[in-house]
Structure 1
Amino acid sequence: MEKTDYIQLFDKFLLKQASTEEIQVLIQWLKSEGSFQDWAEEEWNAAASEMDTKLQRKLFGQIKEKISQIDRTCLPEKENRPRKLYLWSARVASVILLLLMTGLSVYYYTMSQMIMPDMIVSVEKGQKANVVLPDGSKVWVNSDSRLSYGSRFNQKERVLSLEGEAYFEVTPDKDRPFIVETDELAVRALGTSFNVKSYEEEKDASTVLMTGKVEVTSDYDRLVLNPNERIVFNKQTGHMEKSTVENTGDYINWKYNALTFNGETFENIVHTLERYYNTRIVFESETLKKYRFTGTPGNTSLESILQILSLTSPLSYEVRDSMIILRENVKQKAYYEKALK
Structure 2
Amino acid sequence: MEKNEQIELLFDRYLANDCTPAEVRRLIGYFGAPEDEETLRALVSRQLGSAPQENAALTPAVDEVYDRLMKKLIFRKDATPAPKTQVPTKHFSFPGWSRLAAIWLALLVSIGGAVYFFARSGGGSDETAGEVATPLHIEKTATGERRRIVLEDGSVVWLNAQSKLSYPVSFEKNIREVSLEGEGYFEVFRDTERPFIVRSGAIITKVLGTSFNIKAYREDPTASVAVLTGKVQVNSKESTIQITPDQQVLYIRKNGNIIKQDGIDAKAKSTWKDGKIQFRNVLLADVVKTLQRNYTVDITYSNLLATCPVHADFEAETPVGKVLEMLSVSFGGKVTKRGDTQYYLDGTCLQP
> Do the aligned residues in 1 keep the contact of 2:76 with 2:130 (CA within 8 Å)?
no
2:305 aligned with 1:288, yes or no? yes
Q: 1:123 — aligned with what? A: 141
Q: What are the Cα deviations for residues 145-181 of structure 1, in whole angstroms up to 9, with x where unaligned? A: 0000238931121111100000111111111110111
Shift of 1:188: 0.3
Determine the C-alpha separation between the residues in 1 that align with 2:256 and 2:152.
33
2:278 aligned with 1:241, yes or no? no
Consecutive unaligned residues of structure 2, counting only runs of 5 or more, are 1-74, 84-126
Shift of 1:251: 1.1
Secondary structure, aligned partner of 2:220: coil
Pairwise CA RMSD: 3.0
> Do the aligned residues in 2 keep the contact of 1:115 with 1:151 (CA within 8 Å)?
no
Determine the C-alpha separation between the residues in 2 that align with 1:145 and 1:173.
26
Determine the C-alpha separation between the residues in 2 that align with 1:143 and 1:308.
22
- State the percentage of identical aligned residues: 30
With over 3 angstroms needed to count, the CA separation of the structure-2 counterparts of 1:233 and 1:155, relative to structure 1, is same
Determine the C-alpha separation between the residues in 1 that align with 2:340 and 2:283.
23
Q: 2:285 — aligned with what? A: 267
Secondary structure, aligned partner of 1:232: strand
Identify which of 249, 253, 256 aligns with 2:274.
256
Secondary structure, aligned partner of 2:321: helix
Larger Rg: 1
What amino acid is aligned across from residue 317 of structure 1 in structure 2?
V
Determine the C-alpha separation between the residues in 2 that align with 1:52 and 1:253.
46
2:180 aligned with 1:162, yes or no? yes
Determine the C-alpha separation between the residues in 1 that align with 2:205 and 2:303.
34
TM-score in terms of structure 1 length:
0.63
Shift of 1:120: 0.2
TM-score in terms of structure 2 length:
0.61
Larger relative contact order (Cα-Cα within 8 Å, sequence gap ≥ 6) = 2
Which structure dedicates a bigger proportion of its chain to helix? 1
Q: Which runs of 4+ in 1 moved over 4 A?
A: 51-56, 109-112
What amino acid is aligned across from residue 278 of structure 1 in structure 2?
T
Determine the C-alpha separation between the residues in 1 that align with 2:79 and 2:241.
48
Determine the C-alpha separation between the residues in 1 that align with 2:218 and 2:181.
7
Q: 2:164 — aligned with what? A: 146
Q: 1:324 — aligned with what? A: 342
With over 3 angstroms needed to count, the CA separation of the structure-2 counterparts of 1:327 and 1:178, relative to structure 1, is same
Q: What are the Cα deviations for residues 215-268 of structure 1, in whole angstroms up to 9, with x where unaligned? A: 001121211011221111111132222222354221111011101112111111
Q: 1:227 — aligned with what? A: 245
Determine the C-alpha separation between the residues in 2 that align with 1:289 and 1:140.
29
Q: 2:230 — aligned with what? A: 212
What amino acid is aligned across from residue 236 of structure 1 in structure 2?
K
> Do the aligned residues in 2 keep the contact of 1:153 with 1:160 (CA within 8 Å)?
no
Shift of 1:142: 0.4
Q: 2:216 — aligned with what? A: 198
Determine the C-alpha separation between the residues in 2 that align with 1:260 and 1:147.
23
Determine the C-alpha separation between the residues in 2 that align with 1:111 and 1:55.
8
Shift of 1:290: 1.8
Which moved further from structure 2: 257-266 or 239-248? 239-248
Determine the C-alpha separation between the residues in 1 that align with 2:287 and 2:246.
23
> Do the aligned residues in 2 keep the contact of 1:152 with 1:159 (CA within 8 Å)?
no
Secondary structure, aligned partner of 1:272: helix
Q: After TM superposition, list the pairs within 5 Å mapping 1:7-26 onto structure 2.
A: none
Shift of 1:189: 0.1
Shift of 1:316: 2.6
> Do the aligned residues in 2 keep the contact of 1:228 with 1:246 (CA within 8 Å)?
yes
Which moved further from structure 2: 291-300 or 227-236? 291-300
With over 3 angstroms needed to count, the CA separation of the structure-2 counterparts of 1:235 and 1:245, relative to structure 1, is same
What amino acid is aligned across from residue 264 of structure 1 in structure 2?
V
Determine the C-alpha separation between the residues in 2 that align with 1:306 and 1:171.
39
What amino acid is aligned across from residue 171 of structure 1 in structure 2?
F
With over 3 angstroms needed to count, the CA separation of the structure-2 counterparts of 1:194 and 1:52, relative to structure 1, is closer
Which moved further from structure 2: 222-231 or 109-118? 109-118
Secondary structure, aligned partner of 1:290: coil
What amino acid is aligned across from residue 140 of structure 2 in structure 1?
S
What amino acid is aligned across from residue 290 of structure 1 in structure 2?
T
Q: 1:309 — aligned with what? A: 327
2:314 aligned with 1:297, yes or no? yes
